[in-house]
Amino acid sequence: MKHIVFIILFIFSVTISAQKSTGKYAKELDEYFTALTALRKFNGNVLVSQNGKILLDQSYTMPGKADGLSVSKKSTFIIASVSKVFIKYGILKLAEQGKIKLSDHLNQFIPDFPDGSKISVENLLYHQSGLPREIKDYEKYENVSLEKTIELAKSEKLQFEPGTNTLYSNVGYFILHYIIDKSSEKGYQHFIDNELIKKYQLKNTGEFNSARSVPNFAYGFYNEEGKTVPISQTSINRFETGNYYSTTADLYAFSKKLLSGEHMKKDQALKMFKDSLLIQAGGRPGYRAYYYQNLRSNVTFIFTANFSDMPFQKVTDDIISLLEGKSYSVPKEINKKAITVSDDVLKQYTGQFALDLDPSQTFTVTLENHFLSITDKSGEKTKIYPESQTSFFDAPDSEDGYIFSKKSDGTYDLTIISTGLTLKTTRTK
């Protein structure tokens, strides 16, 4: 199935005794990612620090013979939505310079934007605009100009009144990109390059869409029926939303200087954080990336990967639990076994389901030859096998799966576990 990646926030504190155990954590961190890599569930670079001390700074390459998989600390990766950290910084920098205000409303930048008088820059920044997660049918587009992206965004309907709720929105960050482009003297790319990339000395970071070549570029791979295969060339160039490449070293360098007051006043830079946390996950075919900075525990956790089929949520949960001194599980081999479930039971699960986070993403469950299949919006069809009466899987060696839950009216909703992310759906038909 196509994987949908979204942000999950973690709030935690680290005790004094845990801080004294950094040596142990360094060993455990390496053991964790070594095990994950041996299972062919991770390929990339990881950097973890606590109280300014680096606990892990390591490259991991999966065993096998796929050309291009090998990575080193010099490797550069597409960081997908982790690029939003740069967009966020750009907006706050423009506000510090007095060129915009966080209280400005969208109609001041795009006069004909529907409900633009209700949506503030601050709403967009913190995913409280009411705009949906994605532009409708965004999968159809490969390369779209910034202006065209805004035109498409105008047709989207608000999911709630701005400022009353929180919903992760790529659409909102498309608009922030546009605001930076129009509010800075020489446009978005020049502004980010000069105010962030150069000032923070991020020597291996840049906008992929505009780069002629990227040194030490790690090409993306994914799993297809047990084989590690490269992504298509068209999967790399995406919407003009800050499609950046970077390294763990550059991202860590940014994290260390962010609150120094050198390039942005500390009070302003603190607006990058919510409840002392700056967290951004990124994912697209062939790539996964993660940026986690916790001001309470002084923990920074960053990874970049050029293999997308990893248990994303489990990894991030486990590493944070490890650093807290809480229980976690080292990755181990999985071998699920299918059982027989009657057609009468399976029929109860058929129907159409919409993703709660993005209702435009639909999944149709059908029964064929005594087995269930799930077809996503793009038409990709996946056969699933019962592990129990209500739990199913499509790959015996994966923790991913499909769980049907009975509701009070006797019908069933579907929960999809994809790359370790728990995604709730609601039956629509």
φ, ψ for residue 178, nearest 5 deg: -65, -40
Sheet containing 244-246: order of strands: 77-78, 244-246, 206-207
Contact 21, 325 (CB under 8 A): yes
State pLDDT tens for residues 56-103: 999 999 998 667 899 999 999 999 999 999 999 999 999 999 999 999
State pLDDT tens for residues 363-422: 999 999 999 999 988 788 899 999 999 999 988 888 889 999 999 898 999 999 887 678
- CATH fold of 343-427, please? Lipocalin (2.40.128)
pTM comes to 0.86
User: What's the pLDDT score for residue 172?
Assistant: 96
User: What's the pLDDT score for residue 64?
Assistant: 80
Report domain extents, the chain.
16-99+184-324, 343-427
State pLDDT tens for residues 136-185: 877 676 667 888 889 999 999 999 999 999 999 999 999 999 999 999 99
Q: Which of 6-10, 40-44, 60-64, 415-419 comes out lowest in average pLDDT?
A: 6-10
Strands (E), 100-250: 206-207, 221-224, 227-230, 244-246
Q: Please tell me if the domain spanning 16-99+184-324 has the same topology as the one spanning 343-427.
A: no
Residue (of 349, 346, 341, 331) closest to 397 by Cα position: 331
- CATH fold of 16-99+184-324, please? Beta-lactamase (3.40.710)
